[in-house]
Structure 1
């Protein structure tokens, strides 16, 4: 579609603004909050604001649907068919959902359509196909006994997801939980509730019984806290900041000791060695990785570690690509980098830029606000080099299009720099040497290591972090471990 096509669709978009509780639209107690578009600073919609009462109602609906409803008792193949219909309907509404995502969080609509919606559709389709292919165990025991080990759905799942990939990350939690037979209460970010609220209605159309998927919009300190403390929530799955992840662990301890699964922040290193198979491609991928999605990714390769012999060559190539990026209206298909999610987040990222300058890092390009006259929250792609190992820019997650370049002299130093962080979500390595690829991958403390690529993979592989980047895994069959309980049945014959 053209820019004009997307603008016309934006003018006629009528977003869903009410909670989804027990299969019905719920406006709650009448309180509402404004969802602002970072594209131009305008109000997209006034959305019902969930308090403790709305969270209670949503959890009660999920509990009834789990304890007495049909969903956990359906044949797995039937649950799979519903998820496959869900995926088909998401495909039918792809343009509408992509537009909604782009408007509410600022990413280019082309990325929302081609990448985010592809990911969420594939997620529901993958778990729909997996639902009836899980097996239980019958361990070998003594001849006079039969032992069975079965996986049962864990119960009511509370899912709290951020704004940077509002549908993808929701899908990574909802789809495996539903495939396992759980019921779900989803709380999207207050910055991006519109796409999630629409997702819930599509789930009903696909055949989800009332109460199986409930969605409440509200802010973290109220709605998120109420969900985390709720005694009828059996599992809590959260993606977001490390600070908020700690809060959910406290909520679990202060309530019913619910299991809490966390996918948190990152400060991912991207190591380029002189024997990289293609230095131009390595530099291009480094630039793409940090500027894709405006740098608002927990896996963003925000630390570029380059051997000193090639550091200037690689840095110049990254800087050239940063300067050539087209920043602008997310609804323009030619736009390569859109707006940060909002003014407050833009201010935080600019604060990191100021701190880096004060601590002696050298600004190679960017570092300033872009397009002030648009009313949107835009930032130039930013590259620093001469970043000291102990500096804030080397340690703290910026969550924006800001790259820290560090030079190293040998492989041991590279690995030490890469691991010198409290995070352990992802890492990249560029080398032509097979032994180096294996040995370094083993020593990097990260949940995912990409070799001669970045951000590659599919639903068959797990995703998650080490250290303060969290626990548990999204994607793959391993995600079902979060939403099931193992039961042993011992039968004396």
Structure 2
């Protein structure tokens, strides 16, 4: 069932007015007050949608202490992994049952179109919880070769208290990629929401308690990064810290680890992903339409967004012209309208920043083919037109910097070698795509690209069974798949001499 089968725009607006917005932080199995409060505004129209408890350093100490007790003395890490898995699957079922409510919270807090919030964001969280619930009891240790009279066992043990700091662009998907494998492994979690999307995870934590998570196993704090994030990074009772966000903040967490207890840090950071289209792409129209989706979906607020179109000059005009025509179908609209494909940027500061970057990039030689201006200026929200810019040098900031906006930079190339050189001319290495009908070209180019994921003749495809993460300044952690469990477990060797 899709969202358009359920309600109309009017229905969603009415639900938004009637819904009870979370007001507390979730710590030690209950909602509670915090050091302060914060009025939460929606980028839909700038209005206040609720007052939320806002954590301070003292709240961090309380939450970490609750997680520490839950891990050191509680039942969760001592349960049979099958029991943990059953609770995670019950958690998944409750999230599915409340998907309308949660989708509405996501749409209101960060502007994601309600259809995408319901059909993509909530589906991802449901599947993530189900996946890790299903494999919780299927990770085994090793018996290594020894001589007679000796036995060597290698076992995986939960690492302890995990601090998770997540970004706002996919507030439930990214959170689930962190806390679900950590819980499956037997850890206790303190999760910090992003300042811009602090509501939906508070409600999810309540559902986790209803599903059977013991008190202190999943705690959710909403607060400022410079306060709560920093306190988690420096906390000596945190054993693992996992972060999704900017490279600049990722550097801070590495420093916090060095300055505290050398906690293990897992980083999934930014990207400036190249989308390479060669003349022999199986379907140039499909490649162009997908290129438009790759940059305009979620208002371009994706670390994997295909923000650099690297296109062979023989087909550049054909591809770019179709993208420009397609951009009309991505015109920004009310995120509570089920027909809207692109909502606002996350807040006014994001819009101001991107408009300034566009001005600077155009002054340095860029030419706007479409977009580049604020949209729906009377709405009260920070909407930006889908934008395509050409004529850019490789050193232009629109090519170099992660804009986190629906802005596509077009770079023409003459051959495969130039395409690989242009694609690799970035400090990031999160994702890339190649469009070609030649299997040899696909393998050769994919191998030459320095990226955590390379898509061939598609974009943003994947499954929970495959890992996600990057290289270079895109970080080094891995979310999803069995490999994510490595981030939240420690290997122990037990050597037995038995006579």
- CA RMSD, Structure 1 to Structure 2 (Å): 0.7
Structure 2 counterpart SS, 1:262? strand
In 1, distance between residues paired with 2:276 and 2:269?
22
Q: Which moved more, 1:174-183 or 1:342-351?
A: 342-351
Residues 237 and 261, structure 1, Cα contact 8 Å, conserved in 2: yes
Partner of 2:22: 16
TM-score, normalization: structure 2? 0.98
- Distance in 1 of aligned mates of 2:28 and 2:254: 27
1:172-183 to 2 correspondences below 5 Å: 172-183=177-188
**1:141 maps onto 2:141 in alignment:** no
**CA distances 1:364-413 after superposition (whole Å, capped 9, x unpaired):** 00000011111011000000011111111111000000000000001000
Aligned to 2:120: 115
Conserved in 1, the CA contact under 8 Å of 2:9 and 2:337?
yes
Q: Is the 8 A contact 2:159 2:239 kept in 1?
A: yes
Distance 1:339 1:327 in 2: 7
Match of 2:477 in 1: 472
Any idea what SS the aligned residue of 1:481 has?
Answer: helix
1:103 aligns with 2:108: yes
1:67 match: 72
User: Are 1:385 and 2:390 counterparts?
Assistant: yes
Are 1:53 and 2:58 an aligned pair? yes
Kept after mapping to 2: 8 A contact 1:303/1:405? yes
TM-score (norm 1): 0.99
Spell out the pairing of 1:249-260 with structure 2 (5 A cutoff): 249-260=254-265
Gaps of 5+ in 1: none
Q: Does the CA contact (< 8 Å) of 1:148 and 1:488 recur in 2?
A: yes
Tell me, what secondary structure is at the counterpart of 1:223? Answer: helix
Q: Secondary structure at the match of 2:378?
A: helix
What residue is the counterpart of 2:463 in the other structure? 458
Unaligned segments of structure 2, at least 5 residues: 1-6
Deviations 1:181-205 (A, max 9, x none): 0000000001111001001100000
- Which residue in 2 is equivalent to 1:130? 135
Structure-2 separation of matches of 1:326 and 1:316: 17
Q: Deviations over 1:315-355 (max 9, x none)?
A: 00001111232321000011111011000111111122111
Structure 1 contact 35–190 (Cα < 8 Å) conserved: no
What SS is found at the alignment partner of 1:341?
coil
What's the CA shift for 1:268?
0.1
Instruction: Name the structure 1 match of 2:436.
Output: 431
Equivalent position of 1:4 in the other structure:
10
CA distance in structure 1 between the partners assigned to 2:253 and 2:40 by the alignment: 25
Q: Give the Å deviation of 1:56.
A: 0.2
| 1:415 corresponds to | 420
Larger deviation, residues 69-78 vs 315-324: 315-324
Q: Say how many residue pairs are matched.
A: 492
Conserved? CA contact 1:72–1:181, under 8 Å: yes
